[in-house]
Each structure stands twice: as structure tokens, then as C-alpha cells.
């Protein structure tokens, strides 16, 4: 049953939420340590490449640029929603006592949606599922502008929105692995660190952009800091902010996906080629270790023989004397 809570209830809610987050972090860390298998490192030539050259190579690689732009769009949407949703529920929908319930519905549906989206991508491909999910998200985000201040309507919309919203958390990192594998195959070098740094930078940039957009919307709406009662213009400004910024980013992400060159066929070919290279490298490494071991054994045998010959020579020398 959905009920409102007071200050004491909110305090208990924050403590319970913190405990659940710590428990989930412990579970995920345990799963990672016990189930994830480490693969053999990608074999590459030991050549020093300056960071500037590596960054230039990454940012002139078309799939990498598309992944970076798509990350900018998706992270901007997620940061905008995260920073504005509580204010949206409180002032735009007028459901100040139901903020925690609305957030719980959104997060819960998003957690359910992540494995669903991942399974669909594994079966139908990342680009088609991403495009279809974005086309579903566009009318849902538009609905945030017109949904009435009714609890049932708000919860239903947020539940559906959370299912599609999970796409924003999975696609950037899944495309990062595809781009990394393609760069390894094309250049013979691993750029995982540079790519991860670029995506992390995009995440920081979009956080600042979303914060600035939210601040501008509140300023335009006449938000009074510290006030419990705000004018209606604040609610309208927040509605437009959580609608227009994500809508613009969704349209731009469709344009980026249209130019994304990595197809499922290319992804499978790259995966098989890297698997073959890795297997060949492991065999070469084992052969090298075996050869090194044989050389060490041979050196020991030669050393023993020479030592014995030296001893025999000294004995003969003494006998002759």
C-alpha cells in the first residue's frame, strides 16, 4: 500500500535505503570475485605510444566517436532525470508525500528492465533494440509533460519509463566493449584504458550539463531556496526541463545510431578473429616457456659436464706431476 511518510519515516527510509545499497554492493562484489574469469591479456608489441597519440587515434576512430556521442546523449538523459525527478514529483505533480514511492517504482522497474534489455540485445542485436527502445522512450518522456497529478497515473508512467530507461545504463558500456575489440583487431594494440577514460569523461561532462540545465530551469521558474511552498511556475519549468532535454538527446541518439558502423555480423567476425589471435598467442607463450625451460635444463647439464671434466683434468694433472 502506498502511503505518505513524515520526517521520522523519511529518516527510517534513508537508513533502510542505505542498508540495502550496502547489501547489494556486497552481493555484486562477491559475485564478481567468485564467478568472473580473467582472460589472458591481449598480446601486443611492447611499444610506447604517447597518451596524445592514443587519444587522437581513439577520437578519429568512427565507431569510438559514435560510442562517445551516444554516451553523451544517454548520460545527459539519465543525469537530468536523476537530478530533477524528486522535484518533478513534488512540485510538478503535487505529490510531495509520495516522492519515495515514485522513486522506488522507477528504480525497481529499471532493475527489472536491465536483464530484459540485455537479453533482447543478445538475441536481436544492439542497434535494432536500441532504436526500438528509443522510439518507445520518446512518447513516454513526452507523457511526463502532460501526466496529471494523480498517483496511479504517475506510478504507471514511471514503471513503464523505468523499463525503457534501463537502456541508458547498458548501451554505452556494451558498445565500449565492441569498439575496444574492433580497435584491437585493426591496430594490434589495446586501448581499453583510453576508451574507459573517454566514456568516464563523458559521464562527468553530462553531469555538469544536467546540473546547469536544472539550475536554469529552477531560476526561470522562480524557485525560492529553502521554501516549502513554491509558485506554480516552478512545477511548469521542471516539467519542461525533464521533457525537452531528454527529447532532444533521444533524437540526437537516433542520428548517432544511424551512423554507427558496427553491425552484428562485424561484431561476430571481430570476436572470432580475436579469439583466434588470443589462442595463437597462448600457444606461442606456452611454446616459449617450454623452450626456455629446455634451455635452462640444457645449461644445467652442460654445467655439470664441464665441472666434471674440469675435475678430471685436475686429477690427471696431479697424477702427471
Q: What is the DSSP letter of 97?
A: G
- Mind giving me the DSSP string for 189-218? S--HHHHHHHHHHHHHHHHHHHHHHHHHHH
What pLDDT does 180 receive? 85
Place of cell 546540473: 211
Percent helix, strand and coil across the chain, each to the nearest 5: 85, 0, 15
What pLDDT does 321 receive? 34
Separation CA 235–CA 242 (nearest Å): 11
- Mind giving me the DSSP string for 226-255? T-SS--HHHHHHHHHHHHHHHHHHHHHHHH
Separation CA 195–CA 190 (nearest Å): 10
Separation CA 196–CA 167 (nearest Å): 19
Separation CA 273–CA 82 (nearest Å): 40
Residues in the chain: 321
Separation CA 72–CA 199 (nearest Å): 8
Place of cell 690427471: 316
Q: What sign for the dihedral angle of Cα 286, 288, 289, 294?
A: positive
State how far Cα 183 lies from the chain centre. 18
Burial of 142 (0-12, 13-18, 19+ CB in 10 A): middle
Per-residue pLDDT of 201-214, as tens digits, reads 888 888 888 888 88
Q: What is the pTM of this model?
A: 0.75
Q: What is the DSSP letter of 222?
A: T
Radius of gyration of the chain (CA): 30
Place of cell 596524445: 52
Burial of 82 (0-12, 13-18, 19+ CB in 10 A): middle
Local mean pLDDT, 10-residue blocks, the chain (321 residues): 48 74 84 71 56 83 88 90 87 83 85 86 85 89 86 88 84 84 83 85 88 87 74 86 90 90 82 78 59 57 54 45 34
Reduced to 3 states (helix: H, G, I; strand: E, B; else coil), residue 130 is helix
Average pLDDT score over the chain: 78
> Distance from first CA to last CA of the chain, Å, rounded?
109
C-alpha cell, 161: 519509463
Amino acid at each position: 500500500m502506498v502511503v505518505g511518510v513524515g520526517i521520522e519515516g523519511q529518516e527510517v527510509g534513508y537508513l533502510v535505503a542505505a542498508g540495502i545499497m550496502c547489501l547489494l554492493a556486497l552481493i555484486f562484489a562477491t559475485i564478481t570475485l567468485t564467478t568472473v574469469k580473467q582472460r589472458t591479456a591481449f598480446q601486443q608489441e611492447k611499444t610506447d605510444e604517447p597518451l596524445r597519440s592514443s587519444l587522437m587515434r581513439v577520437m578519429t576512430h568512427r565507431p569510438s566517436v559514435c560510442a562517445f556521442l551516444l554516451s553523451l546523449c544517454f548520460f545527459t538523459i539519465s543525469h537530468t532525470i536523476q537530478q530533477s525527478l524528486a522535484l518533478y514529483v513534488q512540485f510538478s505533480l503535487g505529490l510531495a508525500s509520495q516522492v519515495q514511492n515514485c522513486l522506488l517504482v522507477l528504480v525497481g522497474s529499471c532493475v527489472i528492465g536491465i536483464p530484459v534489455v540485455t537479453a533482447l540485445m543478445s538475441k536481436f542485436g544492439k542497434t535494432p533494440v536500441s532504436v526500438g527502445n528509443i522510439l518507445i522512450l520518446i512518447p513516454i518522456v513526452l507523457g511526463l509533460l502532460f501526466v496529471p497529478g494523480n498517483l496511479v497515473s504517475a506510478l504507471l508512467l514511471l514503471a513503464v519509463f523505468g523499463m525503457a530507461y534501463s537502456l541508458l545504463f547498458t548501451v554505452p558500456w556494451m558498445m565500449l566493449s565492441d569498439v575496444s575489440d574492433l580497435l584491437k583487431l585493426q591496430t594490434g594494440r589495446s586501448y581499453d584504458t583510453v576508451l574507459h577514460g573517454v566514456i568516464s569523461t563523458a559521464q562527468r561532462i553530462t553531469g555538469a550539463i544536467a546540473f546547469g540545465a536544472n539550475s536554469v530551469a529552477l531560476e526561470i521558474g522562480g524557485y525560492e531556496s529553502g521554501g516549502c511552498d513554491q509558485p506554480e511556475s516552478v512545477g511548469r519549468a521542471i516539467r519542461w526541463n525533464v521533457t525537452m532535454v531528454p527529447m532532444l538527446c533521444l533524437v540526437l541518439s537516433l542520428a548517432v545510431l544511424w551512423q554507427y558502423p558496427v553491425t552484428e555480423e562485424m561484431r561476430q567476425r571481430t570476436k572470432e578473429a580475436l579469439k583466434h589471435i588470443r589462442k595463437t598467442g597462448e600457444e606461442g607463450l606456452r611454446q616459449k616457456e617450454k623452450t626456455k625451460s629446455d634451455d635452462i635444463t640444457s645449461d644445467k647439464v652442460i654445467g655439470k659436464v664441464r665441472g666434471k671434466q674440469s675435475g678430471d683434468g685436475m686429477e690427471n694433472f696431479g697424477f702427471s706431476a
